[in-house]
Amino acid sequence: MNSVAIPQTQAGNSPLRRFSNLLYRRPNLYLSMLLVPPLLWFGAIYLGSLLMLLWQGFYTFDDFTMAVTPDLTLANFAALFQPSNFDIIVRTLSMAIVVSIASAVVAFPIAYYMARYTTGKTKAFFYIAVMTPMWASYIVKAYAWTLLLAKGGVAQWFVQHLGLEPVLQFVLGTPGVGGSTLSTSHLGRFMVFVYIWLPFMILPIQASLERLPPSLLQASADLGAKPRQTFMQVILPLSIPGIAAGSIFTFSLTLGDFIVPQLVGPPGYFVGSMVYAQQGAIGNMPMAAAFTLVPIVLIAIYLSIVKRLGAFDAL
Q: Which parts of 79-108 interact with another protein (CB under 8 A)?
A: 106-107
Nearer to another protein, 157 or 173 (CB): 157
Q: Binding to another protein by residue 19, rule CB under 8 A?
A: yes
Among 114, 172, 306, 314, binds another protein (CB under 8 A): 114
Q: Say if residue 257 is exposed, middle or buried (CB neighbours under 10 Å; 0-12, 13-18, 19+).
A: buried
Show the site string, 262-301: x = touches another protein by CB under 8 A, - = not: -x--------x--xx--x-----x--xx--x--xx--x--
Shortest separation between residue 272's beta carbon and another protein, angstroms: 5
Angle between helices 120-135 and 83-117 (to 10 degrees): 160
b/e code 75-88 from CB counts within 10 Å (16+ = b): ebbebbeeeebeeb
Task: Round the CA-based radius of gyration of the chain to a whole number and report it.
Answer: 27
Q: CA 262 to CA 248: how far, in whole Å?
A: 23
CB of 45 to another protein, least distance (A): 6
Counting every residue, how long is the chain?
315
Strand pairing category for 67-69 and 60-62: antiparallel
Smallest distance, another protein to C-beta of residue 78, A: 20
Shortest approach of another protein to residue 103 CB, angstroms? 11
**205 touches another protein (CB under 8 A):** no
Q: Which is nearer to another protein, 45 or 167 (CB)?
A: 45
Site for another protein in 246-265 (CB under 8 A): 248-249, 252-253, 255-259, 263
Residue 232 contacts another protein per CB under 8 A:
no
Which residues are within 8 A (CB) of 287 and not within 5 positions of it... i.e. 6 or more apart? 61, 76, 79, 278
